[in-house]
Amino acid sequence: MQTDLSPKNVAWLREQVRQEVEHRMAPLRRELDGMDDWANGVFAALLDLLLPLLKTHPELGRTLEALWGRAAEQYAELERSPERRAELQTTPELLEARKMLYWVLAQLGHGPARTRRARRKPVS
């Protein structure tokens, strides 16, 4: 079967396919945006809870530093070597939130950033 499509017809057909794909993807994009907003809301709520807890229970920071620090290390390892996913029995997606929270702990003065600051010599 031979078809003889002119460049004009090919362009028209491509545009029709593009529009159909866009139409079908629109609900998926909205759902993905909603899930992203939901995840960001959960993260924000966790920070709302974490900040007062760390003030009243500083030992919690040390515990979370150890847990989330391991997750951050595994995340970095999977970024370098994705083939280790089966060996580590996890995914970057499962580790990323804990990696981010580990960074937040460091910014709040818990974790490795605190240790590095303590070791700095004062400028004379």
pLDDT score of 116: 40
Least Cα distance to 62 among 112, 119, 117, 97 occurs for 112
Average pLDDT over residues 118-122: 43
Confidence of residue 111 (pLDDT cuts 50, 70, 90): low
For residue range 42-99, what is the model confidence (pLDDT) as tens digits? 999 999 999 899 999 989 999 999 999 999 999 999 999 999 999 989 999 999 999 9
Chain centroid to CA 12: 39
Q: Is pTM, for the whole model, over 0.75?
A: no
| pLDDT of 121 strictly over 70 | no
Rounded CA separation 92/41 (Å): 20
**Cβ proximity of 42 and 98 under 8 Å:** no
Average pLDDT over residues 33-38: 96
Of 11-15, 30-34, 115-119, the one with minimum mean pLDDT is: 115-119
pLDDT score of 77: 94
